[in-house]
């Protein structure tokens, strides 16, 4: 006899390890006597009220995919909490199918969607009578961006695999840059935080990595971004190296913003690089804008004004990382997370609150949704790179970029100015504000 029915939904973009979570959740739930069903394509069909786009999952169905990339249930960026009528249709399907437990797998938006299911039919939801539909809910955090607010040092699954493969690609491009005497501009996925860009840049020994967090409260402009890169190029020229690799977090385009891009390029020019469209969650569709080409063309223009001709090649890193087979770290980690999800859902705690599943020092720690949601925005908080950490300071120490010491040393300042045939005073006025200095103790 079934001890309940557990449903699984995958939302957001793909990430290595999704199938590992689906597999481990399914096997552990079956071992507890539960029936498991997987909904196809996230919430896409559920918001339409469809009760047919699901499949019963068995151990034989999921076991072969434990170490494979992609998602056997698909995924979609559909937000069921955007409209109350959409959520009502979702919950009606859940009630019709007799769901007693629910696992969402995804990033910040999917976590928020799961929390809203818990808010309406989970612990703490108003119930007129004991027989009213009740579902235990938890969320397994997934994103290659690593930007969910898990405890310090705890990654989201998929990040380590994406970083690993990104590093292999970047190292190969670094060798090509050295061989051909040119610069690569690599744009790494990371809408809200620069973890992936910094992780790839640091582990591949790239020339420079730039993330939104380093600007702190300073405005980010296309000009300030290009000046940082130009400074790196000029310092490399001083030591006879005409090549390098720049890693940029794609979130820089949101930091610059629509207005900033229009101010720097003009509407007609910007239209040549794509369209400013937004997804159902209100985020810019960064994939619709060729940010790398914008930076490349702007850099070439600014360098020519300084009498410098530099060859650039752009490369976007992201889509080829998202559905890769997980490396052993993520394969093991997702098994822990799936097991932990079922352990929580079958515990007394799940009757009291919905939670995000986390592991700290090898132990499963459920983090209540209420702790993970910003009370002002009512959205999941973002974990950004801590630019005051030793880890970030270490990354900066090995980058080639203009530093305060370059301007304090009169001889070095003159050498840099001579490269672009400027006076030291003019060079200082142009580039000193671009250094974004970090302290060193």
pLDDT tens for the chain, 441 residues long, are 468 999 999 999 999 999 999 999 999 999 999 999 999 999 999 999 999 999 999 999 999 999 999 999 999 999 998 899 999 999 999 999 999 999 999 988 898 899 999 999 988 676 545 556 799 999 999 999 999 889 888 999 999 999 999 999 999 999 999 999 999 999 999 888 999 999 999 999 999 999 999 999 889 999 999 999 999 999 999 999 999 999 999 999 989 988 888 888 887 888 788 876 666 655 556 567 899 999 999 999 999 999 999 999 999 998 899 999 999 999 999 999 999 999 999 999 999 999 999 999 889 999 999 888 776 776 777 899 999 999 999 999 999 999 999 999 999 999 999 999 999 999 999 999 888 888 765
**DSSP codes of every residue in 323-341:** TSPPPHHHHHHHHHHHHHH
The two tokens of residue 385 are 């790179």
- Residue 319 annotated as lining a ligand binding site: yes
Helical pair 84-97 and 108-121, crossing angle rounded to 10 deg: 70
- Residue 108 annotated as lining a ligand binding site: yes
pTM summary value: 0.91
The two tokens of residue 176 are 């090509």
- Residue 75 annotated as lining a ligand binding site: no
Cite the beta strand spans of 24-163 per DSSP E.
35-39, 54-56, 101-106, 136-141
- Residue 334 annotated as lining a ligand binding site: no
In sequence order, what are the beta bridge partners of 240?
none
- Residue 372 annotated as lining a ligand binding site: no
Supply the residues annotated as catalytic: 145
**DSSP codes of every residue in 367-403:** EEHHHHB-TTT-SB------TTSHHHHHHHHTS----
Map out the domains of the chain with their CATH numbers.
5-157+326-372 (3.40.50.450), 163-321 (3.40.50.460)
Q: In what order do the strands lie in the sheet with 5-10?
A: 54-56, 35-39, 5-10, 101-106, 136-141, 355-360, 363-368
Q: Which residues of 215-225 are buried (b: 16+ CB within 10 A; e: fewer)?
A: beeeebbbebb
User: In degrees rounded to 5, what are phi and psi of residue 60?
Assistant: -65, -30
Strand, coil or helix: 37:
strand
């Amino acid at each position: 006899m079934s001890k309940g029915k557990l449903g699984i939904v995958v939302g957001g973009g793909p990430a290595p390890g999704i199938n590992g979570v689906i597999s481990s959740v399914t096997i552990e739930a079956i071992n507890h006597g539960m029936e498991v069903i997987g909904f196809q394509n996230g919430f896409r069909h559920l918001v339409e009220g469809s009760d047919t786009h699901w499949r019963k999952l068995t151990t034989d169905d999921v076991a072969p995919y434990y170490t494979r990339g992609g998602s056997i249930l698909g995924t979609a960026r559909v937000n069921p909490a955007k409209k109350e009528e959409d959520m009502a249709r979702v919950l009606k399907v859940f009630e019709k199918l007799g769901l007693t437990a629910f696992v969402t797998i995804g990033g910040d938006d999917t976590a928020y969607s799961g929390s809203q299911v818990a808010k309406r039919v989970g612990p703490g939801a108003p119930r007129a009578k004991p027989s009213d539909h009740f579902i235990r809910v938890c969320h397994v955090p997934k994103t290659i961006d690593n930007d969910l607010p898990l405890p310090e040092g705890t990654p989201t699954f998929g990040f380590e695999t994406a970083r690993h493969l990104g590093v292999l690609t970047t190292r190969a491009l670094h060798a090509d840059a050295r061989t051909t005497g040119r610069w690569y501009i690599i744009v790494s996925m990371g809408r809200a935080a620069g973890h992936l860009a910094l992780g790839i840049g640091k582990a591949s020994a790239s020339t420079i990595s730039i993330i939104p967090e380093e600007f702190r409260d300073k405005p980010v402009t296309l000009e300030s971004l290009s000046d940082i890169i130009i400074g790196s190029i000029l310092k490399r020229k001083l030591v006879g190296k005409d090549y390098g690799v720049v890693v940029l977090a794609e979130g820089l385009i949101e930091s610059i913003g629509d207005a900033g891009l229009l101010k720097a390029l003009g509407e007609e020019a910007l239209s040549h690089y794509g369209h400013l469209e937004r997804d159902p969650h209100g985020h810019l569709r960064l994939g619709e804008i060729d940010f790398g080409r914008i930076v490349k063309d702007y850099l070439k223009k600014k360098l020519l004004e300084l009498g410098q001709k530099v060859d650039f090649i752009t490369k976007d890193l992201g889509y080829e990382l998202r559905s890769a087979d997980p490396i052993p770290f993520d394969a093991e980690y997702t098994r822990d997370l799936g097991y932990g999800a079922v352990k929580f859902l079958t515990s007394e705690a799940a009757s009291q609150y919905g939670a995000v599943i986390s592991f700290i020092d090898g132990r499963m720690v459920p983090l209540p949704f209420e702790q993970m949601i910003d009370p002002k925005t009512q959205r999941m908080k973002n974990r950004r790179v801590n630019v005051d950490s030793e880890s970030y300071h270490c990354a900066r120490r090995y980058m080639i970029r203009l530093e305060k010491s370059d301007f304090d040393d009169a001889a070095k300042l003159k050498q840099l100015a001579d490269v672009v045939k400027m006076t030291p005073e003019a060079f200082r006025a142009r580039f000193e504000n671009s250094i974004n200095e970090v302290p060193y103790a």
